[in-house]
Amino acid sequence: MITLKSKDEIEKIRRAGQVVAECILRTAEQVKPGVTTLDLDRIAEEYIVSQGLRPAFKGYLGFRHTLCLSINEEVVHGIPSKKRVLKEGDILGIDCGAIYEGFYGDSARTVPCGPVGPEVQRLMDVTRESLDRGIEQMHPHKRLYDIGAAVQAHAEGQGFSVVKEYVGHGIGRALHEDPQVPNYGTPGTGMRLKEGMVLAIEPMVNLGGQETYILGDGWTVVTKDGSFSAHFEDTIAITEKGPEILTRLK
C-alpha cells in the first residue's frame, strides 16, 4: 500500500533527512587510511543521538550498527567492523538512516579514501549523475518506471552496469514502504506518480558486470566479478512543482 504524506509529515521526514545528510558529511570527513569502519560507525551514531534522533538501521532485521559501510566491490549492506581498515585508493559507500518523531530519512554517498584511479572516479560521478537523472523524473503524472529508466539509461550509456536485485523504496513511517523503485525499467510504464509520495532513490552501479551475491555474514552484497561498485541515495518528496530532495543540506 502506498501512503501519501501530508506537508507536516514531509517536514518530519525532512528533519530526519537533514540529520542523515549532516551525519554522512561528518562521517565522510573522517574517511582516511588507517580508519576502521567501526570507528566511522561510532562517529555517526554519536552525531545522530546528539541531535535527539535515533539511528534507523540499528536493530533493523537484526542489524547492529548505525551505518552500512561498503568498501570497493561491496555494493551495499557492509557491516562496520574494527577489522576493516581503510587504505588509500579504496572507495566507501556510506549508507545512513535516522528516525525523527516516527519518520525516516535514508541517504547514501560513496566517497574515495585518498586519490582513486580515473575509472573509479568516473564510476562514482556517473552513479551520482544517475541518481540526479532519476530524481528529475519525479513529477506528478510521470510514471514510476520513468525513474529507473532514466537511471539505467545514464549508467549503462556510460558503460557501467546497474544492480537489479536491490531497489529504491517508499519511505515515511517505515524505512521501507511501497512502492519498490527499481533502477531500471521501461519509460512511460508503472503507476502514475502523485504529489505527496516520498521515495528513496538509490542507484547501485558496477564497474563490471551486474551480478551480485551475499557474503557468508548474511548481509554484505558484493559484485560477482569483484569489480568496484558505487551507491548514491536520496529521500525525495514529490510536490506539485516536482521533486524536493529532503536529504541534501540547505
Nearer to Mg ion, 9 or 106 (CB): 106
Asked if 94 and 28 touch (Cβ cutoff 8 Å), the reply is yes
Nearer to Mg ion, 119 or 178 (CB): 178
State the nearest-atom distance from the C-beta of 115 to Mg ion, in Å.
26
- Which range touches Mg ion (CB under 5 A), out of 106-114, 117-125, 138-146, 204-212? 106-114
Helix 144-157 vs helix 118-136: crossing angle, to nearest 10: 160
Checking phi first, is residue 58 left (phi over 0); if not, alpha (psi -120 to 50) or beta? Answer: beta
Contact call for residue 200 and Mg ion (CB under 5 A): yes
Contact call for residue 45 and Mg ion (CB under 5 A): no
Nearer to Mg ion, 155 or 200 (CB): 200
State the nearest-atom distance from the C-beta of 137 to Mg ion, in Å.
18
Contacts of 196 (CB under 8 A, 6+ apart): 4, 5, 6, 10, 237, 238
Nearer to Mg ion, 177 or 233 (CB): 233
Among 74, 95, 146, 177, binds Mg ion (CB under 5 A): 95
Amino acid in position 219: W
Nearer to Mg ion, 9 or 233 (CB): 233
Contact call for residue 106 and Mg ion (CB under 5 A): yes
State the nearest-atom distance from the C-beta of 80 to Mg ion, in Å.
14
State the nearest-atom distance from the C-beta of 234 to Mg ion, in Å.
9
Contact call for residue 177 and Mg ion (CB under 5 A): no
- Which range touches Mg ion (CB under 5 A), out of 2-10, 151-159, 184-192, 231-239? 231-239
Nearer to Mg ion, 94 or 120 (CB): 94
Q: How many other β-carbons are positioned within 10 Å of the β-carbon of residue 247?
A: 27
State the nearest-atom distance from the C-beta of 168 to Mg ion, in Å.
6
Q: Which of 198, 208, 202 is nearest to 246 (CA)?
A: 198
Contact call for residue 76 and Mg ion (CB under 5 A): no
Nearer to Mg ion, 74 or 233 (CB): 233
- Which range touches Mg ion (CB under 5 A), out of 112-120, 178-186, 189-197, 229-237? 229-237
Name the site residues for Mg ion (rule: CB under 5 A): 95, 106, 108, 200, 233
